[in-house]
Chain A
Amino acid sequence: MPTMLEVTDLGHRYAAKDGVYTAIDGLSFTVGSGELVCIVGPSGCGKSTLLRSVSGLLRPTTGQVRLHGNLVSGVPADLAVVFQDYSRSLFPWLSVQRNVEFPLRRALGRAERRERARQALEQVGLTGAAGKYPWQLSGGMQQRVAIARALAYRPALLLMDEPFASVDAQTRFELEDLLLRVRREQDTTVLLVTHDIDESVYLGDRVLVLSKSPARVVADLTVDLPAERDQITTRESERFVAMRAEVARLLHSPPAEVAAPARERAGAVVGE
């Protein structure tokens, strides 16, 4: 599996009122092509800062991000982001269809744009809502629109910042399965940030556990669950339960030396 994303020694510091605030510090990890990697960390640990740095929205203070081996400075062309706050990330003055088409306007002609948007909306099950305005849809449906917009853009790497944190539990399950399905269909590489332990294990091929702020990578766990997952059977399986307990333990009492989180070591912990 070729490496798509390579994050090396990433750090970000803000000038705060009382001196310098370090949001993230010395973060290193990679994401392979076609992988779905979940980053889980305690709230306020700098997850969003990390994602913004990876996406090129924020210039990191130290370290570097490479996508396909190219240094990221500014937002790369083949990257899309789904934000947590769908109600603010969709453009309220555009219909659902036009929201999905909006980022494609530069590159594609009218007919092609339409077709792409139609396909993407079909993928997320919103074919009937194309003419509606975002406020006419429920929260879960709005987030589907945001996902469709990202899919229609056909990014090599899809970044998701707590994408399901603002919808109710039932909808969240639906959207999680939707994500697993479309990512298989489209073979997209996904980096997803969440604070929900269960979600990270349920969705991920790998789970990166972060420490409290300043965030560092505490562990890099491979999720050895079958690729085909199910909200009921997967979640009650022994492997899933053991895995989420492991992640919870790492989150609450991270191992002392976190400076060099080795994959092998984390694997040894999980691998019994």
Chain B
Amino acid sequence: MTARTTRFLQQWLVFAGLVAVWELATRAARAPFFPPPSQIARAMYQQWLSGPASRLFLTDDVFDHVFPSIGRMLGGWAGATVVGVALGVLLGRSAVAMDFVGPLLAFGRAIPPPTLVPVFLVLFSLGTPMQLATIVFGTVWPIVLNTVDGVRAVDKVKVDTARAFRIQGPQWLFGVVLPSALPKIFAGLRVSLSLALILMVISELVGTTNGIGYQMIYAQRQFELPAMWSGIVLLGVLGYVFNTLLLAVERRALAWQPVGNHAQATGG
């Protein structure tokens, strides 16, 4: 058995052990707010995975609440990526422009995104447009700031090399600037992806009648604690899955980096 598999087993054994302890503790304590994991698992199964075989056992709930949530989250995040990278490249190539808007960016990032939810609520109609606006506004800052950093930090020798070979225009932008900035851009994308999940939940707590966040707050009001907990677990799983997927994409896109750097990239 390799050291890697040993470590893997070790990790999951500890994990399983902790879940078992939690199960025993919650059963013994009978605390109403903390249902045992087995009960949460059963609630999750009933809520999402007890559908007909023709639909891969997915229930209506998945189609009515989970998928719309994921769609809004990814949609908002994609929008923020397009806006953020474009803006970041423009600002990063011009020190003067950055002088003008740099402080504004720092300020914009510091605004807690939910404070603007009331504004988005009145400006956009209730539901998806307002939610998309919230997600885009909340997730765009790390992408812009990281892109600016990455674009600014293009290595001097590479700039000289490109100039010496008279590389200009699109080839300069897509062949030199963006690849140089890519590691930084990915760092920003990862931060904003986890923000997108948070903002998706926030926007659903406020202004919709569907989505994971809506279901959770509904379950809480009905005092269905297992259902509320299954929402928490589902969001944890989604966060983990999306982060892992993005890491996989990143490893692909940055396959040209020396091996040592990969360990660092995954370490954080």
Contacts and interface: CB of A to CB of B under 8 A. Distances in A.
Contacts of B115: none
B158 A80 contact: no
A102 B158 CA distance: 13
Interface in B140-155: 155
**Would you list the 4 A-B pairs with minimal beta carbon distance, nearest first?**
A103-B165, A88-B157, A81-B164, A135-B258
Contacts of A83: 157, 160-161
A93 B177 CA distance: 11
A75 B163 contact: yes
Contacts of B163: 57, 75
A85 B157 contact: yes
Given A94-B256, A135-B258, A89 B157 contact: yes
Given A52-B160, A89-B157, 7 more contacts: A57-B163, A77-B166, A80-B165, A83-B161, A91-B175, A93-B182, A103-B166
A184 interface: no
A91 B176 contact: yes
Interface in A77-97: 77, 79-81, 83, 85, 88-89, 91-94
B164 A55 contact: yes
Contact of A153 (B165, B171, B258): B165
A102 B156 CA distance: 18
15 contacts: A55-B164, A75-B164, A75-B165, A77-B166, A80-B164, A81-B161, A83-B161, A85-B157, A88-B155, A88-B156, A88-B157, A91-B175, A93-B179, A102-B175, A103-B167
A88 B158 contact: yes
Given A83-B161, A88-B157, A91-B158, A75 B166 contact: yes
Given A79-B164, A93-B256, A153-B165, A105 B171 contact: yes
B157 A92 contact: no
Contacts of A133: 256
A89 B161 contact: yes
A1 B127 CA distance: 79
Interface in B113-164: 155-158, 160-161, 163-164
A88 B160 CA distance: 10
A89 B158 contact: yes
Nearest to B182: A93
A77 B165 CA distance: 8
A106 interface: yes
A251 to B, nearest CB: 27
B5 interface: no
Nearest to A76: B166
A89 B154 CA distance: 11
Nearest to A161: B160
Interface in A98-136: 102-103, 105-106, 133, 135
A88 B180 CA distance: 11
B54 interface: no
A80 B166 CA distance: 10
Interface string B173-194: 0011001001000000000000
